[in-house]
Amino acid sequence: GPGGPEFKEWEAETEEKYGVKFVTSLDSLPPPTQPRLALISGRTADNPHLLEEAIKVGCKCIYLEKPGAPTVAELQQMKEDADEAGVEVLMGYNKNVCKYVRKTREFAETIPDSHVTFVSNNAY
């Protein structure tokens, strides 16, 4: 599977320690027992389907990484679907809050007059 043996070991430890469940699809999630949140940070072209799946499995709040969808029409349809299901959708830029970004910024703060620039070269 993804990540190799080191990931599988970490996965098992994390499931045991925190009671979380690693799954390969949203359909594999157990029914929610409390409000469920989804963070969608995938390929832009996949986001409309991922949002639809998140709604289907009972997510009540979805954090959607911008731009959200390949077209304005798809984004409008996603909004309509979320509104109809009573699901709150928040949009932002997840990469700004990732651990590696935070650690880089923290390190840069220790260097006088330092400057950090992040560039994404995603081609999708």
Alpha-carbon 35 to chain mean position: 17
Inter-helix orientation angle 72-85/47-56, to 10°:
10
**Which neighbouring-strand residues pair with 87?**
none
The secondary structure element, H or E, covering residue 8 is helix 4-18
The predicted-structure confidence for 60-112, as pLDDT tens digits, reads as follows 999 898 899 999 999 999 999 999 999 999 988 766 566 767 777 788 888 88
Check residue 86 and give left, alpha or beta (phi > 0: left; psi -120 to 50: alpha): left
12-24 exposure pattern, b = at least 16 Cβ within 10 A, e = fewer: eeeeeeeeeeeee
The Cα 87–Cα 80 span in angstroms is 10
Q: Does the pTM of the predicted model rise above 0.85?
A: no
The Cα 87–Cα 51 span in angstroms is 10
59 pLDDT band, cuts 50/70/90, is very high
